[in-house]
Amino acid sequence: MAVTGFGEIAEQLRRSTVLIDAGSCGNGSGVIWTSDGIIVTNAHVARNSALSVRLWDGRELPAETMSRDPRRDLALLHINGKDLPAALPADSSQVRPGELAIAIGNPMGFVGALTTGVIHALGPLRRLGTQSWVQASVRLAPGNSGGPLADRQGRVIGINTMVADRLALAVPSNAVRQLLGAGASDGWLGVSVHPVRVPRRDGTCFGLVLLDVEPGSPAAQAALLPGDILLGADDRAFASLEDLAQAVEGSRLRVLRLEFLRGDYRQIRRVTVQLGATAGRSTIAA
């Protein structure tokens, strides 16, 4: 599929893409959303309080986290800059299957790497709840998270987030518009999860295995560990990733009771986690 001026489109998209250094949490990508320094990335990329942003021209600037929405896996950062090469957002609701998709990011340390594919769908994905995703057959690798997914004109239609069922999933650009207009939820547990089916004596059940637990987070203070499998919250079993997001959503100080497995799939453990403005101590019981 030939695209007139593709080289210029790709170059502009590269200039609007940044590398985000999160220190011990690794590197990711981001998109310059406004010329005065607003950067959009994934919430799981912006986990560290000390972040720096490297621009396409080699400049490296400290970044401040403006807001963070773990449920939609989006974060807004700000750097001191002006006349930056901002990306052009598109209306993601107009995306159609079969259209060309372009992804830019910094996978495995390769700055400004480009990959192309086609759009497969726009909407929810089985086992990932009701959240809508732009689904495309572009190849993503660690370091692509937070970078732009664009259409054939170089307009951003999504923020690349993860791979599921061999498809790249991006948060739709319209969700970024909503975040900029309405702000984010303060609900935060501090974990990265992946859906799994857990074998039990009476069959299998849905679970969310913890891939990562952020130091100092409510989950860390509750002594949750990578490898633990969350089964439910407040006596309600999880059936999708969305269920966990809904359980932690909100800004008020509150207590959340989680059920999880650790090692022995026969024994369900329980932990009380304090969420909200202050993360308190939590206790685990068998």
CA 17-210-106 angle, 5° bins: 15
219 close to 228: Cβ distance less than 8 angstroms: no
The number of residues in the chain equals 286
Residue among 16, 67, 69, 73 flagged as catalytic? 73
| Whether residue 73 lies in the annotated active site | yes
Backbone angles phi, psi at 230, to 5 degrees: -80, 135
Burial 165-183 (b: 16+ CB within 10 A, else e): eebbbbbbbbbbeebbeee
Alpha-carbon span 187 to 139, nearest angstrom: 31
- Identified catalytic residue from 16, 29, 145, 240: 145
Is the Cα dihedral 114, 120, 124, 126 positive or negative?
negative
DSSP 281: -
Signed CA dihedral, 114, 115, 116, 121: sign only: negative
d(CA 51, CA 65): 8
Catalytic pick among 16, 29, 44, 151: 44
Residues carrying an active site annotation:
44, 73, 145
